[in-house]
Structure 1
C-alpha cells in the first residue's frame, strides 16, 4: 500500500496503478480513502479516474465495497480534467536511505502535464531532477557545511531536497526565468520554508551573462543539457565559476533524450580543461529505480550524472 500511496501522490497515470492486489485494496480502504480525500482537493478528476478503476477491479474479484469509499467516488462524478497549464501540488517521496528513519517528502507546486511547447520547461519536474535528488540524498558526505547553487532550478526540487534533508549551510536557487523564481513562493510554503530564512537565496542567473556568486562550493543542475544551442553558455558559466573557486565541484544530471545533443555536451567538455566523469547512471530507470520511492515512466530513457572538476 505504501508504494501505491507514493504513486498516487506523484500522479502516476492510473493505467500504471494496477500492480497492487485487490485483496490489499480491500484491506486498506480507509487509509486509501483518507489519501484520496486529500488529493481530490488538488485534482478531483485524477482521483475519480483512479477510484473508478479500483472499484471496477474490486467488483470483478467479488470483494465487498466500502460504502464510504463508494459514496466519495459518487461525489466526484462530473469532475473535469485539469488543463496542461494548470498548477497542482505533487508530492515526491524519496525512499529513506538506511541511515534515515523517514522518507524525504518534497511538495512541488507545478504543472505536471506541461510540455515545452507551452513556452517553458521549468514549470514541471523532470526525471533527471528526481534522479539527482535521490543520488545526493544517498551520498550524505557530499554536501554538509557547503554552499550549493542550483542552475536552471525550475520547480526547485533539487534545491529543496538539499535544503531540507542535508546539512548544506546555504542554498542558492537560480534560474534564467525570473518568473519561475517568483513562482517558487507557493512551493516554499508547502515545505515550511521562509524566503526570509538566510539559508536560502533566490535570484535570476542568465548563463553566459551573470556570474555565479562568490563562496559557492557545489554547483548542481538537472536536465539543463537538453538543448545543444545553450551548451556553450552553460559551459561558459561553469568555467567562470571554476576560476572563482578552483575547488568547486559540479554535478549535472542529464536525461539522454537525443544522442546528438548529449554528444555536443560530451565533445564540448572534452575540448575544455574541465575533468569530467559519469558517476552514476541508469539505462532503464523504470526497472532500475523501483526501490527509490520515485516512479519513472516506461518511456524514460537513460539518465546520467556527470561530475565536473577543474
Structure 2
C-alpha cells in the first residue's frame, strides 16, 4: 500500500529522510503534529527501514541509534493514545536490528559507510505521487564519515566545498552541458559523477594525485551505474609535474578541456605552488578553459591561495553563491561540519582564467521542493 502527503508535511519527511541517508548526525525531525500521524510513520518506514527500502543502507549502529530516537520522538508527540500509536512496522524493524549482531563501536568508526546525497535542484518539481518524489537524483558513495579534514584524508569522504560547488553547477547546468570536464583532486568522485550522470557532460576526467584514490574511483562509478561508461574515466595527475606533452590518453586525444573543477584543493598551503603550476600548464594547453574552485572557509588557506594565484598572473574573481539556511536545504545538506553549524559563508567559490577575470554567475535564488 502506497502512502503520500503533500505540502509542508511531505517536505519535512523528505528533509528527514535525505539527512538520514547522508548520515547527518543531527537530524531535523518532522514536527510533532506530523510525526504522530500513521501515514508519516509508514512513509518513513517504507523509505528507510523496510527490507526493500534501500539498495545501500547506512551502518547498523547508525540505523539503531536513529530509529530509537525516532520512536522516542513519536511517543513524545502522541497526546491521545486512542487516536494515535507508534507504527508496528517501525517497532518490528527496531527489534530486528537489536537482535542482529552489532559490530563493536571501534570497528564501526573505522569502516567505510554508504552515503547517499540527494540533488534537490534536479528533482522533479510538482511530483504528484510518492514514487515521483523518491525519484530525485542521487549520488551514492562509500566514505569514511568520521574523518576530520587533514592532509592525506580528503579522498576518503566528500567535503562541504564539493557539495557547494555541485549545487552551483546544478543551478547553472550550462557550465557543464556538452563540455569536456577535468576535475582536480577528485577524491570520492562526487563532482565527476554529478557532471557525467546528471549534467550532460561530453566527457569527464576525474584526476587525483593519490594512486589509492584513483584505484577507488571505479567503485564510486559502479555505485552510480557508470561502470564501463565511455563518458567518465579516472587518471592520476600529480600537481607540479609537467602535463604538457604527457603520454596519457586524455592529453594526446587532441580534444580540448573546456571546464576545470576543484573542490577543497586549497586547504593545504604546502600544495599551493604545485597546484598553481598545474593550473598554468592546463590553461596554457587549453586557453579557453573555465576554472571553478570551491574552498571551505575553515582557515585562511583560501585567501593565501588567492593571493598566490594573482601573483602568478592568474585572473581571479569570487562568485557570489551563498548557501541556503539549513532549514531550507532539501539535499545535499551542507551547513554542518562535525556536529556544528559553520555558518552561511562555509564555502567560497572562485573563478580562474589566465589573464582575465571570470564573469560572475547569477546569484543563487533559494528554492524548495
* Same-fold call, TM cutoff 0.5: yes
2:156 is paired with a residue whose SS is coil
The answer to whether the aligner puts 1:267 opposite 2:307 as a matched pair is yes
Structure 2 equivalent of residue 23 of structure 1: 34
- Alignment of structure 1 residues 103-142 onto 2, 5 Å: 103-116=136-149, 119-142=152-175
Q: What RMSD, in angstroms, separates the aligned Cα atoms of the two structures? A: 2.4
Among 268, 271, 275, the alignment partner of 1:227 is 268
Among 163, 183, 196, the alignment partner of 1:163 is 196
Change (3 A) 1:272 1:25: farther
Change (3 A) 1:174 1:58: same
Is the 1:281–1:303 contact (alpha carbons within 8 Å) kept by the matching residues of 2?
Answer: no
Q: Normalising to structure 1: TM-score of the pair?
A: 0.90
Is the 1:256–1:303 contact (alpha carbons within 8 Å) kept by the matching residues of 2?
Answer: yes
2:29 is paired with a residue whose SS is coil
Structure 1 equivalent of residue 74 of structure 2: 58
- Alignment of structure 1 residues 1-310 onto 2, 5 Å: 1-13=13-25, 15-21=26-32, 23-24=34-35, 26=37, 27-34=39-46, 35-37=48-50, 38=53, 41-62=57-78, 63-77=84-98, 79-80=102-103, 81=105, 83-97=108-122, 103-116=136-149, 119-194=152-227, 196-211=228-243, 213-214=250-251, 215-259=256-300, 261-282=301-322, 285=323, 287=325, 290-295=328-333, 296-297=335-336, 298-300=340-342, 302-310=346-354
1:28 is paired with a residue whose SS is helix
Change (3 A) 1:118 1:256: closer
Cα offset for 1:246? 1.1
Cα offset for 1:98? 8.3
| In 2, Cα distance between equivalents of 1:98 and 1:44 | 28
Cα offset for 1:210? 4.5
| In 2, Cα distance between equivalents of 1:21 and 1:241 | 54
| In 2, Cα distance between equivalents of 1:129 and 1:173 | 13
Cα offset for 1:99? 8.8
Q: Unaligned stretches of 5+ in structure 1? A: none
Is the 1:224–1:254 contact (alpha carbons within 8 Å) kept by the matching residues of 2?
Answer: yes
Is the 1:86–1:111 contact (alpha carbons within 8 Å) kept by the matching residues of 2?
Answer: yes
Change (3 A) 1:12 1:286: farther
Cα offset for 1:61? 2.5
1:122 is paired with a residue whose SS is helix
Deviations 1:216-263 (A, max 9, x none): 11110100000111011000000111111111110000001112x222
| In 2, Cα distance between equivalents of 1:117 and 1:130 | 18
Q: Normalising to structure 2: TM-score of the pair?
A: 0.76
Q: Unaligned stretches of 5+ in structure 2? A: 1-12, 79-83, 128-134, 245-249, 355-369
| In 1, Cα distance between equivalents of 2:302 and 2:352 | 15
Change (3 A) 1:65 1:96: same
